[in-house]
Amino acid sequence: MRVNPFKPTAGKMPPILIGRQAIIDDFSEALTNGVGAPGRIMLVTGQRGFGKTVMLTEFRRIAKAQQWEVIGETASAGLVSRLITTLAPSGMRLNQADFNPSISIPGIASASLGQAHFSAESNPLTLRNALNKRLESKKIKDGKGILITIDETQAASREDLVAIATAVQHVITDADESDVPDAKKKGVAIVFAGLPYMVNDLLDNEVTTFLRRALRRELDNVPLPDVKNAFLETVADSGKTISETDALEAARQSEGYPYMVQLVGYYMWQSAQRRGSDVITSDDVAAGFSDALLAFDDAVCAPALDGTTSAERLFLKAMAADSPNPTQVGDIAERARRSRSWVSKYRAILIKDKLIRATGHGQVEFAVPHLGQYLRSL
Ligand SMILES: Nc1ncnc2c1ncn2[C@@H]1O[C@H](COP(=O)(O)OP(=O)(O)OP(=O)(O)O)[C@@H](O)[C@H]1O
Ligand SMILES: [Mg+2]
């Protein structure tokens, strides 16, 4: 019995991680290059389904292989206190006297600590203390450290981000105050992943200074030749075959959108399997792509429209005729038979809700892939 090798599931590691070598190198070099290497604080952004979660999983795997301790968290209420509990499980006493609340880091902690309200268990100083205690432990060898990954960062509270930024900066300066040579110093690496819009929303406040210095990487579409090669290799490993031409056609259909790559792969493979064949043909690719689109609509497009008002949908439908190209804002008033002020009102709401974005030149486009095609099919 052959097993479908493709993995169209959120957060599931794909059979081949396509087109991400450069960013993986940025990260692993940072671990080897020691305290102060830029990639030790990273900010990874990407639209839904572009592979942020699997990127973080890969980073933790790499760090573990280099004998780092790893903590994987997802931003939601209580983030900092969960980090503290993970770092300092019961039995390890956090000595309150170790804190020096007057320490401040120019531009970051001093301003924000005053405004933010921290409960005892989400206090940046507690987090700093927990990190330092953990780093002191013999389990972590010289030159190694702790990697923390935070997924869905756009959902983090400002307080939690300020606390994390402050604590990590403290830990870095604490290490500088010791006379251990840099190569032997234990360190903290932290990678935040989230939706692209958070760069504007979150970076407008004190967290800015910290995250602006982070190495920022945007996960984009993966190159089609790489997708084609991954299709060829994955299909061959699974005991089936596909021609170069068909693999390239499947890659084109996916547009290099990572989630779509897995969907197209999964359904073209399934199509051949259901015929009882080990050869994936161009018909299987075509059938696979249409099944992939249906699955994509259910998983991404339909949920994106949940909660939109009828006026918002009228606006979006007026845009759909142009997609995948952008729409002139002026055309929307005409198509929807509404006033200019109606258009500017809903334009602002939909941009805020991340369903569309402005592309300049008085144009807007869908922020969710395939949403335009989906709306046309309704
Ligand atoms: N580089 C890649 N090559 C091939 N497939 C990938 C790649 N990255 C992710 N995928 C696949 O894409 C899908 C989505 O990945 P993932 O869940 O990591 O995305 P995400 O950016 O975290 O999405 P969300 O914002 O919805 O959480 C999964 O099926 C995964 O296997
Ligand atoms: Mg994710």
Question: DSSP labels for 104-165?
Answer: --TTTHHHHHHHS---GGG-HHHHHHHHHHHHHSTTSPTT-EEEEEEESGGGS-HHHHHHHH
pLDDT score, position 110: 36
Of ligand 1's listed atoms, the one at least distance from the Cα of 12 is: 31
Q: Express each pLDDT in 71-84 by its tens digit.
A: 999 999 999 999 99
The CA 201 to ligand 2 mean position distance, Å, reads 19
> Two tokens at 134?
């953990």
Q: Check: CB of residue 197 under 8 Å from CB of residue 354.
A: yes
User: Hey, which of 61, 254, 262 would you mutate to test ligand 1's pocket, going by the most ligand atoms within 8 Å of its Cβ?
Assistant: 262
pLDDT score, position 120: 60
Of ligand 1's listed atoms, the one at least distance from the Cα of 14 is: 31
* Ligand 1 shell residues, CB under 6 Å: 7-12, 14, 17-20, 46, 48-54, 222, 258-259, 261-262
Sign of the four-CA dihedral 101, 106, 108, 110 = positive
Residue 372 neighbours by CB under 8 Å, 6+ apart: 319, 320, 322, 323, 324, 366
Which residue has its alpha carbon closest to ligand 1 atom 15? 51
The CA 11 to ligand 2 mean position distance, Å, reads 6
Which residue has its alpha carbon closest to ligand 1 atom 6? 258
Q: What is the pTM assigned to this prediction?
A: 0.86
Distance CA 368, CA 30 (A): 33
Closest listed ligand to the CA of 21:
1
| Residues with pLDDT less than 50, the chain | 91-92, 94-116
Closest listed ligand to the CA of 258:
1
Distance CA 167, CA 301 (A): 39
pLDDT score, position 114: 39
Closest listed ligand to the CA of 24:
1
User: Hey, which of 53, 55, 232, 254 would you mutate to test ligand 1's pocket, going by the most ligand atoms within 8 Å of its Cβ?
Assistant: 53
DSSP secondary-structure letter at 97?
G
Closest listed ligand to the CA of 19:
1
The CA 149 to ligand 2 mean position distance, Å, reads 12
The overall longest dimension of the chain from CA atoms, in Å, is 71
Alpha helices in the chain (DSSP H): 21-32, 52-65, 79-87, 109-115, 124-136, 158-177, 198-202, 207-213, 224-237, 244-254, 258-274, 282-296, 302-305, 310-320, 329-336, 340-352, 371-377
pLDDT score, position 122: 67
Which residue has its alpha carbon closest to ligand 1 atom 26? 48
Sign of the four-CA dihedral 12, 274, 18, 367 = negative
Which residue has its alpha carbon closest to ligand 1 atom 31? 14
Closest listed ligand to the CA of 265:
1
User: Hey, which of 259, 354, 368 would you mutate to test ligand 1's pocket, going by the most ligand atoms within 8 Å of its Cβ?
Assistant: 259
The CA 46 to ligand 1 mean position distance, Å, reads 10
Q: CA dist 149 to 52, 72, 153, 271, Å?
A: 11, 5, 10, 37
The CA 50 to ligand 2 mean position distance, Å, reads 8
